[in-house]
Amino acid sequence: MPWGVVSLMSLRQEFVRLSESKTVSFAELCQRYAISRKTGYKWLGRYRQQGGDGLANLSRRPKRSPAKLDDAKEQALLSLRQRYPRWGARKIRRLLSKQSQGVVPACSTITRVFHRHGLIDTQSAAAKPNWQRFEREMPNSLWQMDFKGPVATVSGPAQALTVLDDHSRFSLCLKALPNQKTPSVQQALIETFRLYGLPNTMIMDNGSPWGYGPAPKAYTQLTVWLIRLQITVSHSRPYHPQTMGKDERFHGTLDRELLRGRQWRDIPELQHGFEGFRYQYNFVRPHDALGLEVPASRYRVSLRCFPENLPPIQYDPGVKVRKVQQKGEISFQGKTLLVGKAFCGYPVGLKGTHSDGVFDVLFCHQTVGQINLREP
């Protein structure tokens, strides 16, 4: 992903922040960001000397004019509220505490200021309490993936592909696509995998392009590709959006803080807006579920690098292997069994269970179904 394609400031700040975690070597991180180590050390050095301002191509932005600071604290609060109109008092206070050297007003005081200036929407969905959510213990254990769409643009509708890390809420992918077809989604995921590495598991709903319902239609060309990358594929329960609760919450935030009330010219302009929002969400916006820390404070890149060439499909000794034919079927012990058209041309494994005549159907590392030879 060349730095000239997307926002330079966002990628430079993301690069130096992730380099501090030292999850992968500095050389590996530079390679993922498609820059030389010399360039990486240059931006890291500037960041350590000057902070975020050192990452800009232009000179540092000037400090605020004293003429604008009549009743400075209140004006600072109003300025932050104007910049982040959907943020409540807790998030504004957290951000102000990082910017101010003095005493930061209490949340109740900030709320009164917003009320006095008519900046509180009492019916806002963001003000409603959240249900308790569960999370994985480590980054990259589980990624949630879904579409937020369609998003209207003047030149036609766009589909917003979103991928979120379950543990940290870090937004890994926010891509404006022309459709939900496999080639578009696969290319967006390849860019994401090259940058952040591979997760252990990905969960998604049962719709296109990653599933069409229960077996044997539960898997598609795209999910088969993910399994070949040694990623465990999981589908959410039908009619239970809470299974994908964190990504659904992210969609709500995206709608309130970026999409609502905006008109976009085309997909490139929408993508430009997505890039700014994703950086703000990951590195600036305090998150209630994280104790008002930002998602980037909890995220680390994966140690599992994206393989440019898919690994060979192998099975353990004792597993019976059959090649899936054109109709998605295999022949086993004199019977023709339907596995799924998504596996056509690939070898699948049949592993016996504790029940006589019952076999698990394996594809690579994942159990994708079960057959019972005693049933018709």
Q: What is the pLDDT of residues 329-344, one digit of tens each?
A: 999 988 899 999 999 9
Q: Give the model's pLDDT for residue 243.
A: 64
- Residue 92 sits in which domain range? 73-127
Q: Give the pLDDT confidence score for residue 1 in this predicted structure.
A: 46
Let me know whether 249 and 166 are in one domain. Answer: yes
Question: Where does the pLDDT of residue 128 fall: very low under 50, low under 70, confident under 90, or very high at 90 and above?
Answer: very low
Query: Does 40 map to a domain?
Result: yes
- In a shared domain, residues 162 and 277: yes
Q: How confident is the model at residue 78 (pLDDT cuts 50, 70, 90)?
A: confident
Residue 63 lies in a domain: no
307 or 374, which is more confident: 307
**330 and 206 within one domain:** no
Of 96-105, 181-190, 244-253, 278-287, where does the model show the most confidence? 181-190
Write the CATH number for 231.
Answer: 3.30.420.10
| Same domain flag for 209 and 352 | no
pLDDT for 127: 43
Domain C-terminal end among 245, 262, 297? 297
pLDDT of 214 higher than 70? no
pTM: 0.74
Report the candidate in 10, 43, 46 with the shortest Cα–Cα distance to residue 26: 43
Burial of 233 (0-12, 13-18, 19+ CB in 10 A): buried
In this prediction, what percent of the chain has a pLDDT beyond 70? Answer: 84
148 and 278 in a single domain? The answer is yes
Mean local confidence (pLDDT), 53-67? 58
Of 20-24, 43-47, 168-172, which one has max mean pLDDT? 168-172
Query: Are the beta carbons of 194 and 32 closer than 8 angstroms?
Result: yes
3-state secondary structure of 359: strand
With pLDDT > 90 as the criterion, what percentage of the chain qualifies? Answer: 49
Residues 151 and 273 in one domain: yes
To 5 degrees, how large is the angle CA 349–CA 201–CA 246?
145
Q: What is the pLDDT of residue 87?
A: 77
Instruction: Determine how many CB atoms are found less than 10 A away from the CB of residue 337.
Output: 21
For residue 68, what pLDDT is reported?
36
Q: What is the mean pLDDT of the chain?
A: 84
333 & 285 share domain:
no
In a domain, 41, yes or no: yes
Please tell me which residue, 54 or 194, carries the higher pLDDT value: 194
Mean pLDDT of 221-227: 95
Residues 6+ apart with CB under 8 A from 116: none
